[in-house]
Amino acid sequence: MTQRLQDIAASSIASWIPVAILAALPFIVGGSWTFTLGLCFANSIGVLAVSFLVRYGGEVSIGHTFFTALGAYAVGVLDTRFGLSLWASVPLALVLGVSLGIAFAWPSRNLHGIYLAVTTLALALAVPEMINNLDWITGGYEGLYVSTPLVPGVEMGLQRYYLGLAMLVAVAAAVARFRLSRQGMTLLLAKTHPAAADAFGTRRVWARIAVMGISGGIGALCGATLAFSGSTVSPGGFTFWQAIFLLVGSVVSFYGLSLFRVLIGGAFVTLVPQLLSASGAWIPVFYGLSLLGMILLGHYLPRIQKTLARRKGGA
Amino acid sequence: MDQLTNTLRGDGIALSFGGIKVLKGLDVEFRAGEITGLIGPNGAGKTSLFNCLTGAYRPQHGSITYAGTSLDGLPPAARASKGIVRSFQHVALCPDLSVRENVMIGVARNYSAGWASAFLPLSAGRKERQDMATAADRVLADLGLADSADLMPSELPPGTQRLVEIARAIVGKPSVLLLDEPAAGLNNSETRDLMKVLRKLASTDLVLVVVEHDMDLVMSICDRIYVLNFGEFVAVGTPEEVRGNEDVVRIYLGSDDDE
């Protein structure tokens, strides 16, 4: 027990070190990096939403831009049409994400694997068209500009950065706490042994709906953060490819739910395309190679670490 | 409490898959205060009967009642909320949870802290987890597994995993406990410990049914035994009566003529 508590304490400290470094970054790096990192934090939340579905539901989504769009437009519409800040729009985004996650999960509750994944694809394909057709409220192709400050009087660039960081830390902490809860444990059992979960009072249908609702809610929080940190909301941010990139980020982070893991996924989704932007037509090739490199590194890293530790021990 | 009040009854339970009749109109009565054994060769229908009693299967005919209340049509989770729980023939522990957490799931149905407590650092959620952990630790200690509480199931030998599953089944103080081959994979010492635990569990509040192939265990702890073969009961009675039943000896235990 003592060893386990020590491990938990060490893990907690390890999580706070990157947070402290990221909190200090705006005072070290330039404005463009601050902006990009704000987007990275938002995308990390999106990666977390997809990974949550994998870890707790055993399912894959290629349509989570549906939920990120919900959150982003909740922020954009309340900001531009009603002048309301995130204090009002983030709760709305969360409610919309959870509600529509549940609404999606109910009819698809008996679908699994590739069938569910393709169903989520339908969501992803529908999103940009829905946004364009509802242009009277979404602004259509032109999109919306989010300018209402969260804290009046504080420089907006810093707000956009720190809001992203705070949201990421809060969501990652909430998900870490959820893992220890009664509901979290029963959902994990329902994923691996649905019959056993049923036998102990957790209906598998309830489990499926709950996981999709939570994942949708986290996805909407990703969108809300993207809208504020990125300052604009437009259909181009919620395409099918964006949904694929969130899944790629989840895979690169090995479906991890810790702050560090989702930051890796979010950084891959946000930073790699930017770093490769000067490569012209080679961008897809280099992106693919980067993806392959990350997967292989993640796969072989534990073995490499073991080998190095053995050599160190033998020396 | 009246022994007959807390009785799990099945009347005329019939179950078929396609054209194969798995259970052929069984009448059963599992009484509180007794340990009832359910034995029979592989494929006799023992686990199918458990599945009908717990709601995993819906029999085509017959009805099931507990304490005079019909369970027909209730899904497994609703039956679990009435305290009807089971263990599984194949160990069904969650590999992502520690031993303690797996056992905590067995008592989860007795708690109700809300969703906010699941995500936020609220006292209701902390207290719930603490209470569940305390209950799990108590049962693990009773089964001699206190040292394994922080391990993951994959770190335990198969026999110990089965004991963890039994701990999960009994931690919530069930009113009906159906154990499917609880001694499978246990060594002699573990089986003896299990027998002690089962005897200790037997009370007037609990309907305890054990499906088991270990005849020493069945004959020494059970008050009454049902013998099932090809979906039909061939004998019902005390261990002595079953042991002396010629049909049982011929069909299940084997006879000199078969050699």
Q: What is the 3-state secondary structure (H, E, C) of chain B?
A: CCCCCCEEEEEEEEEEECCEEEEEEEEEEEECCCEEEEECCCCCCHHHHHHHHHCCCCCCEEEEEECCEECCCCCHHHHHHCCEEECCCCCCCCCCCCHHHHHHHCCHHHCCCCHHHHHCCCHHHHHHHHHHHHHHHHHHHHCCCHHHCCCCHHHCCHHHHHHHHHHHHHCCCCCEEEEECCCCCCCHHHHHHHHHHHHHHCCCCCEEEEECCCHHHHHHHCCEEEEEECCEEEEEECHHHHHCCHHHHHHHHCCHHHC
Q: Supply the range of the domain harboring residue A61.
A: 31-275
Q: Nearest-CA distance from B119 to chain A in Å?
A: 5
Nearest CA in chain B to A191: B94
- On whether residue A253 sits in a domain, the answer given is yes
pLDDT at B34 over 70: yes
B20 at A interface, C-beta within 8 A: no
What's the predicted TM-score (pTM) here? 0.88
Q: How much is the pLDDT for B1? A: 46
Query: Does any CB of chain A come closer than 8 Å to the CB of residue B36?
Result: no
Residue A17, number of CB atoms within 10 A of its CB: 10
Contacts with B122 (C-beta within 8 Å, 6 or more apart), sequence order: B113, B116
Compute how many other C-beta atoms are within 10 angstroms of the C-beta atom of residue A54.
20
Query: What is the average pLDDT value for chain A, to the nearest integer?
Result: 90
CATH number, domain containing residue A182: 1.10.3470
User: Region A198-225: what's the mean pLDDT?
Assistant: 95
Give the chain A residue whose CA is nearest to the CA of B101: A185
Contact predicate B7/B220, CB 8 Å: no
In a domain, A89, yes or no: yes
- Closest to B85 measured CA to CA, from B48, B130, B55: B55
Kindly indicate the confidence band of residue B236, based on its pLDDT and cuts at 50, 70 and 90. very high
| DSSP one-letter code for A83 | -
What three-state secondary structure class fits A304?
helix
Could you read off the pLDDT of A291-309 as tens digits, one per residue?
888 888 888 888 888 888 8
pLDDT digits (tens, 9 = 90+) for B90-131: 899 999 999 999 999 999 989 989 999 999 999 999 999 999
Domain assignment present for A233: yes
Question: Which chain A residue is nearest to residue B89, measuring alpha carbons?
Answer: A196
User: Total domain count for chain A?
Assistant: 1
Mean pLDDT, residues A153-169 taken together: 93
% chain A with pLDDT above 70: 95
- Residues A109 and A200: their CA atoms lie apart, in Å, by 20
pLDDT band at A7 (very low <50, low <70, confident <90, very high): low
- The beta-carbon neighbor of B105 closest among A1, A180, A189 is A189
B224-229 and B35-39 beta bridge pairing = parallel
The more confidently predicted of residues B16 and A279 is: B16
pLDDT digits (tens, 9 = 90+) for B170-223: 999 999 999 999 998 888 888 888 888 889 888 888 999 999 988 889 999 999
When scoring B94, B97, B148 by the number of chain A Cβ atoms within 10 A, the one with the most, hence best to mutate, is: B94
| Residues in Cβ contact with B188 at an 8 Å cutoff, skipping those fewer than 6 apart | none
Q: Across residues B237-242, what is the average pLDDT?
A: 92
CB B77 within 8 A of CB A201: yes
Homologous superfamily (CATH) for B1-83+174-259 = P-loop containing nucleotide triphosphate hydrolases (3.40.50.300)
* Assigned domain for A151 exists: yes
**What pLDDT is recorded for position A275?**
86
- 3 state SS of A233: strand
Q: Sort out which chain B residues have CB atoms less than 8 A from A192's CB and list them.
A: 92, 94-96
Work out the average pLDDT over A40-47.
97
Domain membership flag for residue A264: yes
Q: Could you read off the pLDDT of A92-141 as tens digits, one per residue?
A: 999 999 999 999 999 998 888 999 999 999 988 999 899 999 999 999 98
pLDDT digits (tens, 9 = 90+) for B67-98: 989 999 999 999 998 999 999 988 999 999 99
Domain with CATH 3.40.50.300 in chain B: 1-83+174-259
Enter the ipTM: 0.86
- Domain-located, residue A224: yes
Question: Does some domain include residue A25?
Answer: no
Q: A26 lies in a domain?
A: no
